[in-house]
Amino acid sequence: QQPVQSPQAVILREGEDAVINCSSSKALYSVHWYRQKHGEAPIFLMILLKGGEQKGHDKISASFNEKKQQSSLYLTASQLSYSGTYFCGTEEAAGNKLTFGGGTRVLVKP
Amino acid sequence: DAGVTQSPTHLIKTRGQQVTLRCSPKSGHDTVSWYQQALGQGPQFIFQYYEEEERQRGNFPDRFSGHQFPNYSSELNVNALLLGDSALYLCASSLGLAATTQYFGPGTRLLVL
C-alpha cells in the first residue's frame, strides 16, 4: 500500500513557505524524498532513517516521526527552481523496496 | 563520474511484441532497481537486482523479467506487451541493499500501440 501525500498540489509565490506531508499505514524504516521536473528523472533530496531525525538541504528540510509513520518536507523561502513534483518513497525494512506516494505538484511563481 | 544511464531513450512497440531496456548503474554502485512510472503517478517498484540475482519483486506479472550482468549493468525484458505497459521505465542504482540512496537514470519512455 502506497504512502499518502498531501496536498496534491500547491502554488507558491517566490519566497513563501510550504509543507508536504507523507503518511504511511505501515511501520517505516526510512523515508526518501525526491523531486522530479517534467520529462526528467527524479532527483534525490534526502533520506531519513527512523529515530525522528531531521535533515536539511539548503532551504529544504524534512522530519520523520516514526511513531506516526509520517514525514514532512519543508520548503522555506521557496525559489523558482523548487517547482516540480515531490515524491516520498518509504521503506518498511532495511534493504526493502521503495514504495512511492502519488506525488505533490509544486509551482513557484515569481 | 558517470551517472546512471539508460537506453534507448524512447521506444515504440505494438501489442504482443517484446522489448528489452538497458541500464548502466552509477560508477561504484552494485544494486539496480527498476520502476515503472505511469503519467501523473509515482514510480512503482518492479524488481531489484544485487549480485546478479533478483532480490525483491513488486506486484508485476511474470511478463516482466530481468537480468544483471557481472559488470552490474542490468536489463529489463517485457514480453507480450499490452497497451497498459506504456510508461516511463526508470532504473535506479545504489550501493548495497540497506537504506541507501537510489540514484535514478533518465528513463526509457515506452509507447505500446
Q: Nearest CA of chain B to the CA of A51: how many Å? A: 14
In the prediction, which pLDDT does B99 show?
63
* Beta strands, E only, chain A: 4-6, 9-13, 18-23, 30-36, 43-49, 54-57, 60-65, 70-75, 84-91, 99-100, 104-109
Task: Determine the structural domain holding residue A22 and report its residue range.
Answer: 4-109
Q: Nearest CA of chain B to the CA of A96: how many Å? A: 7
Chain A: residue whose CA lies nearest to B46:
A97
Number of domains in chain B: 1
Per-residue pLDDT of chain A (110 residues; tens, 9 = 90+): 899 999 999 999 999 999 999 999 999 889 999 999 998 899 999 989 877 566 666 789 999 988 889 999 999 999 999 999 999 999 988 776 899 999 999 999 99
- Beta-carbon contacts of B62 under 8 Å, excluding residues fewer than 6 positions away, are none
Number of domains in chain A: 1
Residues of chain B in contact with residue A91, where contact means CB-CB under 8 angstroms, are 99
CATH classification at residue A76? 2.60.40.10
Task: Determine the structural domain holding residue B21 and report its residue range.
Answer: 5-112
CATH classification at residue B30? 2.60.40.10
In the prediction, which pLDDT does B36 show?
97
The CA-to-CA distance between both ends of chain A, in Å, stands at 37
Phi-psi region of A42 (alpha: psi -120 to 50; beta: other; left: phi over 0): beta
Which stretches in chain B have pLDDT values below 50?
A: none
